[in-house]
Amino acid sequence: MRYLILSDLHANLQALEAVLADARAIGYDEMICLGDLVGYGADPGPVMDKALALGPVSIIRGNHDKVCAGLEPALLFNEVARQSAEWTATVLTPPQLKALAELPQGPRIVVDGLEICHGAPFDEDYYIFDGPDAARAMEVSKGRLCLFGHTHLPAAFATSDDPIRPDDRQDDTMHLPKAGPALINVGSVGQPRDGDNRASYGLLDLDAGVMRIRRVLYDIAGAQKRILDEGLPPWLAIRLERGQ
């Protein structure tokens, strides 16, 4: 089974369309979404509609999804994120807000050996940045492979005695551990923060035991224009070009 892995779409329609075109050209069987369909970007409704129309085999909510749907206050958001969340809640239709509120909480088991979460398997809003955080997550994960998002940073963690191995033939491909646990973040579709402004997503082939993390060029200027046209904070447009 080949899975398309999308995370942190953040209402960036231009990035999502470029990612889907790239993924279709390669081929996949089912889509998995790790949350944060909305927030920051200027096209929350179209992004939601396009992502949900793919019929995800598994999907979970992110922290921006919760706040924009009115399930939680924006107490932990910075001012820019709060403004974006408040604007998003006003432009989504009632059916879209209902669909956003009904997104399930992670973690969730997709199939035997594959778990997904937004932040961490022990806390959906926790940020996993380093080895100690990853080790704690792998201890409690119910799957041999756990996919997470939230940080917008591609990352891969595994035990030292059963490591993740890069594929020398393909720069974007890694071989999963044969037995031990692994924790992988495929990065963000809509707002990469690793200094690379290309949209990031994953293609997981469970049968072959490989994960590809793809980077895709998209119409950044178009996404920036939409943000500015909607009167959202200019920083949200600037950071797309900087990949931060």
Please provide the DSSP assignment of 29-67 as one string: SEEEE-S--SSSSS-HHHHHHHHHHT--SEE---HHHHH
Asked if residue 188 has pLDDT above 90, the reply is yes
- How many structural domains is the chain composed of? 1
Asked if residue 178 has pLDDT above 90, the reply is no
The confidence band for 171, taking pLDDT boundaries of 50, 70 and 90, is confident
Asked if residue 175 has pLDDT above 90, the reply is yes
Domain that holds residue 55: 2-242
In contact, 209 and 176? CB cutoff 8 Å: yes
Find the mean pLDDT for residues 191-202.
Answer: 98
In contact, 173 and 167? CB cutoff 8 Å: yes
Q: What is the DSSP letter of 176?
A: P
Token reading at 181: 């646990």
pTM for the model: 0.96
| 150 Ramachandran zone, left/alpha/beta (phi>0; psi -120 to 50) | left
Output the domain CATH number for residue 158: 3.60.21.10
* pLDDT over 70, % of the chain: 100
How far is Cα 7 from Cα 39, in angstroms, rounded to an integer? Answer: 13
